[in-house]
Amino acid sequence: MNTIIYYFTGTGNSLKVSKDLSQHLDNTELIQIRQEWLSQKLFTDADNIGFVVPTIFSGIPKLVDQFIKQLDIRKKSPYIFVISNHGDPKGIGIVFEQIQKLIAEKGHSLAACFDIRMPHNVPEKDHLTTNDEKKRLFQEETIRIPIIAESIRKAELIPHKHKKIKNIFERMIYNGAYKSTGSLDKGFYANERCINCATCSRICPAQNIGMKDGRPKWKQDNCQLCFGCLQWCPKEAIQYNKRTIGIERYHHPQIKAKELFYKKFE
Ligand SMILES: Cc1cc2nc3c(=O)[nH]c(=O)nc-3n(C[C@H](O)[C@H](O)[C@H](O)COP(=O)(O)O)c2cc1C
């Protein structure tokens, strides 16, 4: 029995969840969902297939949508599960519905839906998580992971209960966010503290940041608004409009920036 876990992450929460889960399952491979993969033939013949994704604007990052669409699932009836990782108390949004639809379009079904709350990674005053709250969420994660692993080992069916009205509202948030903002990276800039280390460019899962004249340059076409660039900047030189100035930065304390770098840079 082997398991493959595909995770998308901006600030490491989904990677932490994926790594911890892999400790409780045999023969598990972790793959980061990144833009670079989309130029390749994507396929899997794993027995268990998992997707660990953050909720962004109530739904999945566009890159996750593209990745799953392109993924060729070769096993006849694999056990497919999703772990929604979210920052709000009930922040799953339409993540399960979206992935269920993508999987169904491939002729497969989603067997189990799990969720874990982690610290919120939007760098805004209203979304900051206190140290006590972080501690509590990290503890809850370590309790929850073995329970999820046990369900996966037993191939339990854990469907998600759709809430129609809530879904309509969340779908509006999701579609609105992607439509109205146009290019999501419009507000990013690096100030004079930038040391041209290119951490932001290497981390960006969407290949959306290049380096020009010693500073990052956002390409304005593929940003997922995961905030990885801003949150991992070692000099806190990156801001998003004015509202991130002076706001405490967050990334998962047990994940290192280089774990998120695209392999070719290592
Ligand atoms: C732009 C943006 C929008 C978000 N929207 C939601 C949301 O709608 N609901 C929610 O619960 N969390 C939301 N979050 C919080 C993340 O889902 C959460 O912090 C997650 O743990 C981040 O995981 P990562 O470190 O793997 O990227 C949002 C985060 C960002 C950056």
What SS3 state is found at 175?
helix
* Residue 22 pLDDT greater than 90, yes or no: yes
Residue of the CA atom closest to atom 19 of ligand 1: 120
**Which residues form the pocket of ligand 1, taking CB atoms under 6 Å from any ligand atom?**
9-14, 54-58, 85-88, 91, 93, 118, 120-122, 225-227
Q: How far is the CA of 221 from the centre of ligand 1 (A)?
A: 20
Window from 95-99, 175-179, 185-189 with minimum mean pLDDT: 175-179
> What pLDDT is recorded for position 265?
39
Burial class (CB in 10 A: 0-12, 13-18, 19+), 189: middle
Tokens matching residue 133: 């709250």
The average pLDDT across 212-216 equals 96
Tell me the C-alpha to C-alpha distance, in Å, between residue 218 and each of 105, 124, 214: 33, 20, 13
In this predicted model, what pLDDT tens digit does every residue of 193-207 receive, in sequence order? Answer: 999 999 999 999 999
What one-character DSSP code corresponds to residue 211?
E
- Atom of ligand 1 minimally distant from the CA of 7: 26
* Residue 266 pLDDT greater than 60, yes or no: no
- Atom of ligand 1 minimally distant from the CA of 17: 26
In this predicted model, what pLDDT tens digit does every residue of 239-261 receive, in sequence order? Answer: 999 999 999 999 999 999 999 99
Tokens matching residue 12: 């490491």
Looking at the DSSP assignment, which residues form a beta bridge with residue 43? Answer: 72
In this predicted model, what pLDDT tens digit does every residue of 61-98 receive, in sequence order? Answer: 999 999 999 999 999 999 999 999 999 999 999 999 99
> What pLDDT is recorded for position 180?
59
Q: How far is the CA of 70 from the centre of ligand 1 (A)?
A: 24
- Atom of ligand 1 minimally distant from the CA of 251: 25
Residue of the CA atom closest to atom 22 of ligand 1: 54
Residue of the CA atom closest to atom 3 of ligand 1: 56
Contact 50, 6 (CB under 8 A): yes
> What pLDDT is recorded for position 199?
97
Sorting pLDDT into bands at 50, 70 and 90, what band is 163?
Answer: confident
The average pLDDT across 139-152 equals 98
The average pLDDT across 148-155 equals 98
- Atom of ligand 1 minimally distant from the CA of 122: 31
Structural domains in the chain, sorted by start:
3-168 (3.40.50.360), 188-265 (3.30.70.20)
